[in-house]
Amino acid sequence: MTSLTESRPARRAGGRGGGAWHVRVRGGSAGRPDGARRSRSGRGPGHGLPVTPWLFLVVPLGLLVLFTYVPVANMVWYGFTSWDGLDPVKEPVGLDNYARIFTDPRMFEVFFVSLYYLAGAAVQLVLALYFATILSFTTWFRNVFKGVIFFPYLINGVAIGLVFLFFLRPGGTLDAMLGLLGVAEPPQWLGDPSLVNVSLAATSVWRYLGLNFVLFLGAIQSIPGELYEAADLDGATSWQKFRYVIAPAIRPIIGLTTILAISGSLSVFEIPWIMTGGANGSTTFVIQTVQQAFQFNKFGLASAMAVVLLLVVLLVTWIQRRLFPDERVDLT
């Protein structure tokens, strides 16, 4: 803290005495030694990096390594063995597990089941973007519609599987509704191999629509209102507003939801496991992995399948990022 004080020196002969301003320092760190100032910076002696933040990171980083990276490393190691999950001896088999995955058609063809869920994810993104765009503006009962769309995502996946199991079973709710419309013999929604994956994919669309809807809704509502006013002054139509204002502004969110949709369609487990148990051609790659581990006690092969799934998801994500890179768009 500094202050200005005025001192009046003695008059000299033949001259006038004037006031001179002097600066006096009160407190502050100017009078402290350099060592005292450095002691509060949180830096260790002789080090250029602060020590205190790393002390706070020790526990979370330790938990992350212990419960994430160590299990992943063990999974990769198990993939090169024939471990059955119980034997203390893990016999190495080299690349035999990976060779079986890519040479046995029954092991790898289940990836084609993911195409149904991939198509369902595309429909889901379109519907979520449509509803988010409509409900971002003045609409009757829009808060009610927001709640209706988002509510299924809050329900437990097991509960949703059981509800739709009764809804789609023979003589269930859907068949009763179709009977009122004159359909005497409705199809077997979960028993027909040509319809079971369509039914399961539709269930997944209904459940996860709310997540993508909320992501799109938040992104659209963050767009400045001045852009819409400028578009109205230029006479832009609703489609032109969406194409030139909304779509460029939410491009990062579209890329994020696309990655989530692709990875989710490749790793579907909950809905088909609860509703069909993988029967009638509804086995996904994750269901087959679980069966190999816990039903046939082939943990080595199951670990190799998990590694392959991880690599496929990373590859698809990399391709998507290369084809559709994130670009910062300046709408102003």
The rounded distance, in Å, linking the Cα atoms of 328 and 248 is 9
pLDDT of residue 289: 92
The rounded distance, in Å, linking the Cα atoms of 295 and 290 is 8
- Give the pLDDT band of residue 332 (cuts 50, 70, 90): low
The rounded distance, in Å, linking the Cα atoms of 324 and 83 is 41
User: Nearest to residue 246, comparing CAs of 215, 223, 213?
Assistant: 223
pTM of the model: 0.76
How far from each other are the two terminal CA atoms of the chain, in whole angstroms? 45
Residues 206-221 have pLDDT tens digits of: 999 999 999 999 999 9
The rounded distance, in Å, linking the Cα atoms of 16 and 12 is 7
Give me the phi and psi of 58, to 5 degrees please.
-60, -50
Residue 258, C-beta contacts closer than 8 angstroms, at least 6 positions apart = 125, 320, 324
Alpha helices in the chain (DSSP H): 34-39, 52-64, 70-78, 96-103, 105-108, 114-135, 142-154, 157-168, 173-180, 196-221, 225-233, 238-241, 247-249, 251-266, 270-275, 285-294, 299-323
Query: Average of pLDDT values for 169-188?
Result: 89
**Is the distance from CB of 270 to CB of 158 less than 8 angstroms?**
yes
**Is the distance from CB of 266 to CB of 184 less than 8 angstroms?**
no
Residue 16 gets the label, from left (phi > 0), alpha (psi -120 to 50) or beta, of: beta
The fraction of the chain above a pLDDT of 90, given in percent, is 51
- Tell me, what amino acid is at 270? E
Residue 56 gets the label, from left (phi > 0), alpha (psi -120 to 50) or beta, of: alpha
Q: At what angle do helices 251-266 and 196-221 cross, to 10 degrees?
A: 160
Q: What tokens appear for 21 in the block?
A: 């301003």
User: Nearest to residue 242, comparing CAs of 129, 140, 324?
Assistant: 129
Query: Which stretch of 115-129, 150-164, 312-326 has the lowest confidence by average pLDDT?
Result: 312-326
Q: Which domains does the chain have, with CATH numbers?
A: 52-103 (no CATH), 105-323 (1.10.3720.10)
Residues 241-288 have pLDDT tens digits of: 999 999 999 988 998 898 888 888 988 999 999 999 988 889 999 999
131 has a pLDDT exceeding 70: yes
User: Nearest to residue 325, comparing CAs of 277, 258, 236?
Assistant: 258
Exposed, middle or buried, 186 (CB in 10 Å: 0-12/13-18/19+)? middle
